[in-house]
Chain A
Amino acid sequence: MNNKELFKISKYVYAESFLQSQLDMSGTSVSSVMEKMEKNKRYIKNQVIFTKIIMVLYVSFLILLPITGYMQIEKAINEGISITWILFLGGVINGGYFLFQFAYLLMFGMFSSTGLFTGNIFDWLSTLPFKKKEMNKIGIMTLFRVIDAQFIALMLIFPLATAIFTKSIIITLISLGISTLNTIFSFNVLIILSKKFASVIKGAEANAKGSNLTRILFLVGYLATTMFAVLGIQFLIPIINPLYFQEPTNLALFESLNKWIGLVPFPLSGGYLLTSFLVGFDNISFLQILPYLAGLAIFALIDYLLLKKSLKIMNDVIISRIDSKTQKFKVSTVSDVSITVVSPIKAFIKRDKSMILRDIQSIIFILFPFILPWVPFFLALEPGTGFDEIDGFGIIGLIYCIMGSIMIIMGLSSIEKTGTTINASLPIIVRDQVKARIKWAFVIIPLGTLLPVIMHIGKPFFWDILVIQVLIAIVGLLFGTFTLLLRIRLFGKMKNKYTLANVKFRYKIAKNVLLFALDLILMIVIVVGFVSQLTSRDIVEFTLIIFPIELVLAFSLYFVYNKMFPRPRKLD
């Protein structure tokens, strides 16, 4: 078979591996991924393209960091800033860029590449009449398909931007060389880590604590990089660039630092070498760049060794020589059986806790109410001292709190999907079930909303912010409860979600649209009302108006709740 045909075949292996990665990452919400696929045949394709575009976008964002630095270097030299200082900053900033690029690749590559290692995707190939050599080729081609866009972005965006901004062929070539070394390094590390990661999250071990922790860490890392890519860079550039013009006094320290840390193969040697060329040999001697060249030589050697290792891993995967380590399971005995009976509401909460920690989707839904309220604090690190600045702060906080409460309700409502037939057999009192949900919301929403206030302890407007956040948290709770009740009203009681499918799930899309529209309208009304009051009054007046309204709404919701889920009557 020729290479072209093999490349065609690798497409199927690739689709398979991507699906496998999605399933691995979703933990136990596998069925929902499958469901999405059934509904939308292009689901996988879209996901693939989306992941790739995001990665390329982020790298393009990030490129601003070194590029804006180039211009500062020229200016700084003209202003007579010490070369030692410029070299240090330039080296570290470029190195930082390489490091971030590397981190991005791991974050985004891992999504698509773990599937190569977890699901024995090459197994079915071995049932077909391929030669071993052809199998190997297919494996490498599959890997390339997984990371093609990322590969090209990583390799070329940096030299391209360098070429455009420096218009120097030599510097462009150097950046291309460094970029190549970085790219090889990054991909080899990606393969090695994916393999490690794959064995951690592999289905059968999904219960292991380490695997849950890995999922959570990965997710937090993912959210952090995303936030950084979108918000962080904006803040970093104005902070970092002026540093070029703030020369420190102890230059001797930096002089030796430049020598020693410039030896660190990744990411600093490359950063330093590039900066040296940017600074130009009018300003530094050729001897000075020797440590950087040495560092890069070591880097090349490391690349070579890593390449050998990752090729071996690929090879093992393809011919299924992967050590199928005998998994260590706890084998329980009769003495382990000891049932503790708690109240039904507590039982629901305990069950939810176990399930949320094992399901990446639910983790996201629970994490968001904690993460979102930080955004306004992050956006306005110094929200001024007067009350006026606090307004904007309150508005954004309110919107994010409402969004967080919608998410948590959505997350909690989808959690029961895999247990529907057990639920169908249990004498569940719906009131208990709903109460357990509301309890979750009552812990998470206030906690998530109030935690960021800590940032403002000791500031003059601390009490104002605290009061506003408390009022916002109450809005979040009311909103969450409202959404929950509306959902149940529209989609039927949760216990019957599966079994009553054909009865209550008619017009599912229309109902979802209705739910969304109602939530949106309500959110706009609340935000507009909140804001108009907040901007026209002082905090005491504001509280005196908003709080009673919240109380009235709370009582009405409680009334509706009691109507929908009456206390169970006692049978005698």
Chain B
Amino acid sequence: MENIEHALLDVKSLSKSFENVQAVDNLSFHIRKGEIYGLLGPNGAGKTTTIKLILGLLEADAGDISVLGLNPETDEVEIKNRIGYVSEEPLIYKSLTPKELFNFIASIRKLDGEKVSKKLAEYLEGLSAIEYYERLISTLSRGNKQKVQIIAAILHDPEILIMDEPLAGLDAKSVRVVKEIIELHTKRGGSVLFSTHIMEIAEDICDRIGIINNGKLVAEGDFEELRQRANAIGDDVDLEDIFLKLTDQDESINGIIEKLRTTML
């Protein structure tokens, strides 16, 4: 019961399948206030599907989701008022300019024009995106689109930030700034659900990591806990090995490397 009280986001026995893929399989986890939770898993593990379910963008086959005590299937609008979402694919109106997009978003969210202008200017400057402010989004590079999307997600000071591979395409400086944004967001008491397939990023950013494979949670814990599990397997084993092992990739990867050796050398 202790979990429920502190959990801003609670997922219980969630399942979702597409025609012939079990994308999410009896998945349970929760995120506490002020916590950065990382969903770590290889491509196709079910991270994006889980996130879409949480947002109410897909309908679950089974399971319960509670976001800020609300049900995504019935309280969608209220939930979206209080969370920020950075999607994997930045489909963010390519025929608008960031300026028009932010005006649109601020109006839909009914924000205070003056306050939001100030904040927006700071974010844009921090992420060195200010000079693209009045260009068509379709002409921006992938990374700059991503910046626009991230700013769009934090403009209204959400309580939970849900970010699907948010660092994809960003340069080193912007990665630093986004990390800072995430950090400050949690200091304010906000929580973050963060998906990535890159272990170092999860290790670097997240307080707690759930490793997910084939839609199932295969390991969960903070970085230390996961390392202890790795050590328990063998001396020489680091986190990458355990990640590959837990996600059934360790054997196939050795085969692949072997093949590459013979063809390239």
Give the interface of A toward B (CB within 8 A): 27-28, 30, 203-204, 206-207, 329-334, 336-344, 346-348, 350-351, 354-355, 358-359, 418-422, 424-429, 496, 498-500, 502-503, 568, 571
B140 to chain A, nearest CB (A): 11
A206 contacts across to B, CB distance below 8 A: 136, 138-139
Question: B136: which of A207, A337, A338, A344 is its contact (CB, 8 Å)?
Answer: A207
Mostly helix, strand, loop or mixed at chain B's interface? helix
B132 close to A332 (CB less than 8 A):
yes
Best-buried of B78, B91, B110, B124 by chain A (most CB within 10 Å): B91
A354 close to B132 (CB less than 8 A):
no
Question: A499: which of B52, B80, B105, B136 is its contact (CB, 8 Å)?
Answer: B52
A425 close to B153 (CB less than 8 A):
yes
CB of B4 closer than 8 Å to a CB of A: no
Distance in angstroms between the alpha carbons of A204 and B121 in the assembled complex: 24
A337 contacts across to B, CB distance below 8 A: 99, 117, 120-121, 124, 130, 133
Best-buried of B81, B84, B121 by chain A (most CB within 10 Å): B121
For A28, give the chain B residue with the smallest CB separation. Answer: B95
For A418, give the chain B residue with the smallest CB separation. Answer: B94
Q: Mark B115-126, 1 if CB is under 8 A from A, else 0.
A: 011001100110
A340 close to B96 (CB less than 8 A):
no
A499 close to B57 (CB less than 8 A):
yes
- Check A422/B113 contact, CB under 8 A, given A206-B139, A333-B130, A502-B18: no
B113 contacts across to A, CB distance below 8 A: 338-341
Chosen A-B contacts, 28 in total, with CB atoms closer than 8 Å, are A331-B131, A332-B130, A333-B130, A334-B121, A334-B130, A337-B124, A337-B133, A338-B117, A341-B106, A341-B107, A341-B110, A347-B104, A347-B107, A354-B95, A355-B95, A418-B95, A421-B89, A422-B152, A424-B55, A425-B87, A425-B153, A427-B77, A427-B79, A427-B80, A428-B77, A496-B57, A502-B18, A503-B58
For B153, give the chain A residue with the smallest CB separation. Answer: A425
CB of B222 closer than 8 Å to a CB of A: no
B91 close to A498 (CB less than 8 A):
yes
Q: In chain B between 71 and 100, which residues have their CB closer than 8 angstroms to a CB of chain A?
A: 76-81, 84-87, 89-97, 99-100
CB of B134 closer than 8 Å to a CB of A: yes
B149 contacts across to A, CB distance below 8 A: 421-422
A344 close to B108 (CB less than 8 A):
yes
A568 to chain B, nearest CB (A): 7
B78 close to A332 (CB less than 8 A):
no
For A422, give the chain B residue with the smallest CB separation. Answer: B92
Distance in angstroms between the alpha carbons of A496 and B79 in the assembled complex: 15
How many contacts between A and B, using CB within 8 angstroms? Answer: 154
B120 contacts across to A, CB distance below 8 A: 337, 339
B108 close to A427 (CB less than 8 A):
yes
- Check A422/B101 contact, CB under 8 A, given A332-B132, A337-B121, A499-B58: yes
B130 close to A418 (CB less than 8 A):
no
CB of B250 closer than 8 Å to a CB of A: no
B89 contacts across to A, CB distance below 8 A: 421
B125 contacts across to A, CB distance below 8 A: 334
B99 close to A571 (CB less than 8 A):
no
For B79, give the chain A residue with the smallest CB separation. Answer: A427
B161 to chain A, nearest CB (A): 11
B92 contacts across to A, CB distance below 8 A: 418-419, 421-422
B91 contacts across to A, CB distance below 8 A: 418-422, 498
Extra A-B contacts (20), CB below 8 Å, given A336-B133, A340-B113, A424-B85: A332-B134, A333-B130, A337-B133, A338-B113, A339-B117, A347-B107, A348-B104, A351-B93, A354-B97, A355-B95, A358-B95, A419-B93, A421-B91, A422-B91, A422-B105, A425-B153, A427-B79, A427-B108, A427-B109, A568-B77
CB of B135 closer than 8 Å to a CB of A: yes
Distance in angstroms between the alpha carbons of A322 and B79 in the assembled complex: 52
Distance in angstroms between the alpha carbons of A429 and B136 in the assembled complex: 26
B109 close to A426 (CB less than 8 A):
yes
Distance in angstroms between the alpha carbons of A420 and B92 in the assembled complex: 7
B139 close to A203 (CB less than 8 A):
yes
B136 contacts across to A, CB distance below 8 A: 28, 206-207, 358
- Check A425/B95 contact, CB under 8 A, given A332-B133, A339-B116, A343-B107: no
CB of B103 closer than 8 Å to a CB of A: yes
A330 close to B85 (CB less than 8 A):
no
A333 contacts across to B, CB distance below 8 A: 130-131
B139 contacts across to A, CB distance below 8 A: 203-204, 206-207
B171 contacts across to A, CB distance below 8 A: none
A332 close to B55 (CB less than 8 A):
no
B134 close to A342 (CB less than 8 A):
no
CB of B157 closer than 8 Å to a CB of A: no
For B120, give the chain A residue with the smallest CB separation. Answer: A337
B107 close to A346 (CB less than 8 A):
yes
- Check A336/B108 contact, CB under 8 A, given A419-B91, A427-B78, A499-B57: no
A481 to chain B, nearest CB (A): 23
B84 close to A425 (CB less than 8 A):
yes
B172 to chain A, nearest CB (A): 23
A374 to chain B, nearest CB (A): 29
Distance in angstroms between the alpha carbons of A498 and B52 in the assembled complex: 11
B124 close to A421 (CB less than 8 A):
no
B198 contacts across to A, CB distance below 8 A: none
The 9 closest A-B pairs by CB, nearest first: A347-B107, A419-B93, A332-B133, A425-B85, A28-B95, A499-B57, A421-B87, A427-B80, A421-B91
A424 to chain B, nearest CB (A): 5
Distance in angstroms between the alpha carbons of A355 and B137 in the assembled complex: 12
Q: In chain B between 136 and 185, which residues have their CB closer than 8 angstroms to a CB of chain A?
A: 136, 138-139, 149, 152-153
For A362, give the chain B residue with the smallest CB separation. Answer: B95
